[in-house]
Structure 1
Amino acid sequence: MATAPNITVSVEEPEWNSKPAWKLPGWAEPIIVASILFGAMWMTRRRGYRILDRRRGRRSPYKSYLDGTAGGDSGRSSDELLSRSSSGWDSDDEDDWMRNSSLASASTNKHPPKVRDCCGLVRVQTPNSSRFRHHVHSRILQRFPFLIEMFYWIINYAFYRMTSITSQRLFAESGIWNVAQAHGIAVLETEQLSALSLLFPVRERDIQQWFMHGHQDALTVLNKAYALIHIPGTVGFIAWYYYVAPSHATFAVVRRTMTLTNFCAFLTFILYPCMPPRLLPPEYGFLDTVRHDDAQSVWMSGKYVNSLAAMPSMHFGYALCIGCTLVYHSAVFPRRPLEPREPRKSPFWKLWYLALGLAYPAFLLVTIVATANHYFMDAAVAACFVVLSFAANRVFVVFLPLEDWFLWAIRAEKPVPSTGKRFRERGGRRI
């Protein structure tokens, strides 16, 4: 395969004599992730709600909606995806939603069908699963509403697993390894030899060499960070923001943006398999420092990973989503008025969230390049996907009818999310 001599180096170039760092036991990472998820499930539980207690009539309809025990239209976390309901009330105002839902339930039959807009073109009626609110699995969900978020990310992972299988079948004749290598070399040539080279003044190889010559301890830190931050860090962020977001509507925008970014990346993984720099032939001058340090994650080997999915970098895509959310959460920059009952942050916390929001994606960018796992263009494409996904995140509203039918099929009611609940507490009581 002919290559431009400008982007190749001597085969002896990548050299690193450091000793492998201490390796985290393989069982530790799954335990860390599981601890984060189940810890979040417990922290965001609906307090005062008993799974096995089906007593009725002791609370007003409004109080019942706060606890998720009332009938009527279930799934507020789905309804608030819509900016306006057919009745005209603002779904972002949770109190108004609860009051209007109670009135609607009282003025119609016991379990009226839901009316959903499908792509803004037609309205469809879907079954109301609130009649299943006393089923044990519905009550478990009401007690632990974060289980719904865990289910969403299991679906994400299932789609990710499909990318490798689908891409291999799509490029079976030409050989996916050869195709991915050609794409990786094409990315390097585009960065260094095309008109776009002005956008990439620094080469990935130079970044890695800088760390390998005189800064190997720092590179060891980056190796560990690449292996251990991505999955636990992203899961931890989702868990944290579900708890601290001022409302579920705000949290849902972030979750939908990250999910749509995922699907944009998954489609690219399938249609444009791309070899990361670390797997390119030696003459391109890269070293797989993570494996050299024996620092790889259990999620980075075997059936858990698509190793030919460098374009785009989801390490950076997730980091950018998280960073932008932290900057927004800091309230340093002018934005819409604070959400109802959202407390004002002190200057210290504003600067803390701002600094963390800027530092985290910058740190991950250096990490993915220095460890030769991604090209700069991978991060640039990921950033474009994040912007596109944020602008179009409401596309997931089209799946609401499907969600209604799924809940009906499993005979469950979707729980009222507990996000923002702590901001609705005054004087030790809920309002």
Structure 2
Amino acid sequence: MGEPTEIQTSGTEQSARARRVGSVQSPSRPADGTVDGTDTLASGSTALRGPRTLRSRIGAQRRGPARPRLWFELALIGFSYWIYSLVRNAVPEQAAIAHQHATWIWQLEQNLGVAVERSVNNGINSVTWLIVGMNYYYATLHFIVTIAVLIWLYRSHPGRYAAGRTVLAVTTAIALVGFYFFPLAPPRMMPGFIDTVTAHHTWGSLASGAGASVSNQYAAMPSMHIGWSAWCGLTVFFLAERAWVRALGLLYPVFTLTVIIATANHFWMDAVGGALCLAIGFVVARFIYHRWAFQFPQVPASWQAGSSSQVPEQRPTPVGAGLRR
């Protein structure tokens, strides 16, 4: 009778031992689904470690973009502008449909009561010094200011550069799609409007005059003068420290809007299209980085410490609050 008792006792000890081992290998799970508040599982759950580590690294990269490299950024800007010019000038120049689209937009604006382009164009054209200055503004600042803001963003706000540059790149890419699928004749090609570059013999613009032969004249929708100037203006407004500089940032796209209408290079609707492209650019960058472009730290702490580790996750800062530092 003693032997069965011994066997029963051994079985009980084995069951207890199995329960103790199971309790070590299967720790309790809190309500959030993690194991003891960590992403690393105990022995026996190693198979889950790899995917979680990969997701953690991707998430860290999204939260903290890598430090921009000067040579790479210069090459990227040069290549992007080359592609932009190539595609913009290579799209089909369908004159008939481009003029038809211009007529549609002009009629739409007249129905909405906002068709003021012709009055502005004719009125400002009578002030020679003003319209000549606007011609040069249209031809030069579009590129100068955008490049200057990119350089300033790279040097003074490197932690925000990658996201900001992504916004600009996406905005431009969407504009190229618009150029291809919606050729549009600018107002200066319509009756009653004045081509101010030709009328005042100014230089520098590819929109009309001598430069017209090397540029697509029907790439007016959307207006990248508005898309790029609005990007510059918002970047300066949110990140500059001095109030007067921030004010200039907001005024820059307003001045640009006045210029593109006075010189008869764009309709109001072209400006709306450019602003819409910029809005999509911000949303796409938000999707990529999980944070709005200007919400990243000015210089991540890991960069200041000389560490190659990614920036730890931080609670997003409300737009406009504490962004300049």
Give the alignment's TM-score, normalised by structure 1: 0.50
Indicate yes or no: 2:290 matched with 1:380.
Answer: no
Q: Shift of residue 255 of structure 1?
A: 1.0
Report the Cα offset of residue 225 of structure 1. 0.5
Q: CA deviation at 1:368?
A: 0.3
Distance 1:396-1:89 versus aligned 2 partners, 3 A rule = closer
Of 133, 146, 165 in structure 2, the residue corresponding to residue 221 of structure 1 is 133
Q: Which residue of 2 aligns with 1:364?
A: 256
Specify the code of the residue in structure 2 equivalent to 1:236. Answer: A
Residues 86-133 of structure 1 show CA distances to partners (whole Å, capped at 9, x for unaligned) of 376476458xx89xxxxxxxxxxxxxxxxxxxxxxxxxxxxxxxxxxx
Give the distance between the partners of 2:263 and 2:246, measured in 1 at CA.
Answer: 26
**Contact preservation (8 Å) 1:243, 1:420:** no
User: What corresponds to 2:197 in structure 1?
Assistant: 290
CA distance in 2, matches of 1:302, 1:290: 11
Q: 1:93 to 1:152 in 2, by over 3 A?
A: closer
Match of 1:167 in 2: 92
Q: In 2, are the aligned partners of 1:329 and 1:353 still within 8 Å (CA)?
A: no
Q: Which moved more, 1:369-378 or 1:178-187?
A: 178-187
The structure 1 residue matched to 2:123, chosen from 196, 210, 214, is 210
Separation in 2, partners of 1:391, 1:232? 26
Alpha-carbon distance between aligned partners in 2 of 1:365 and 1:165, rounded to the nearest angstrom: 26
Deviation at 1:156, TM superposition (A): 4.1
One-letter code aligned to 1:320? A
Shift of 1:327: 1.3
Q: Output the CA distance in 1 between the equivalents of 2:237 and 2:195.
A: 33
- Contact 2:121/2:264, CA 8 A, preserved across alignment: yes
Question: Using the alignment, how far apart are the partners of 2:141 and 2:286 within structure 1?
Answer: 28
Partner of 1:148: 72
- 2:98 corresponds to 1:157: no
Alignment of 1:3-402 (within 5 A): 85-86=56-57, 89=60, 92=63, 145-153=69-77, 154-168=79-93, 176-193=94-111, 197-198=112-113, 200=114, 203-213=116-126, 215-247=127-159, 250-280=160-190, 284-297=191-204, 299-300=206-207, 301=211, 305-330=215-240, 345=241, 349=242, 351-393=243-285
Q: Is the 8 A contact 1:276 1:373 kept in 2?
A: yes
Identity of aligned residues (%): 27
- 1:406-427, CA deviations, whole angstroms, 9 ceiling, x for partnerless residues? xxxxxxxxxxxxx94999669x
Q: Name the amino acid aligned to 1:167.
A: P
Alpha-carbon offset, residue 278 of structure 1: 1.0
CA offsets, 1:334-368, max 9 Å, x none? xxxxxxxxxxx4xxx1x123211111000000000
**In structure 1, distance between residues paired with 2:271 and 2:90:** 24
Shift of 1:192: 0.6
Maintained 8 Å contact 2:167/2:282: yes
- Give distance in 2, aligned partners of 1:87 and 1:237: 29
Q: CA deviation at 1:383?
A: 0.7
Gap change, CA 1:393 and 1:87, over 3 Å in 2: closer
Judge conservation of contact 1:274–1:309 (CA < 8 Å) in 2.
yes
CA contact (8 A) 2:136 2:205 kept: no
* Deviation, structure 1 residue 155: 2.9
Instruction: Tell me which amino acid in the other structure corresponds to 1:294.
Output: H
Higher Cα radius of gyration: 2
Partners of 1:370 and 1:219 lie apart in 2 by 8
Give the distance between the partners of 2:133 and 2:141, measured in 1 at CA. Answer: 11
The equivalent residue for 2:25 is: none
User: Number of residues paired by the alignment?
Assistant: 241
Gaps of 5+ in 1: 1-83, 99-141, 169-175, 331-344, 398-418
CA distance in 1, matches of 2:304, 2:214: 42
Q: Relative contact order, CA 8 A, sep 6+: which one is greater?
A: 1
Partner residue, 2:38: none
SS of equivalent to 1:167: coil
Between structures 1 and 2, the one with greater helix share: 2
Does the Cα contact within 8 Å between 1:85 and 1:91 map onto a contact in 2? no
Separation of aligned partners in 1, 2:194 and 2:172: 27
Q: CA deviation at 1:205?
A: 0.7
Structure 2 CA distance for partners of 1:156 and 1:85, relative to 1, 3 Å: farther
Conserved in 2, the CA contact under 8 Å of 1:164 and 1:270? no
| Unaligned 5+ runs, structure 2 | 1-54, 290-297, 308-325
User: Taking structure 1 as reference, are residues 182 and 353 closer, same or farther at Cα in structure 2, changes over 3 Å only?
Assistant: same
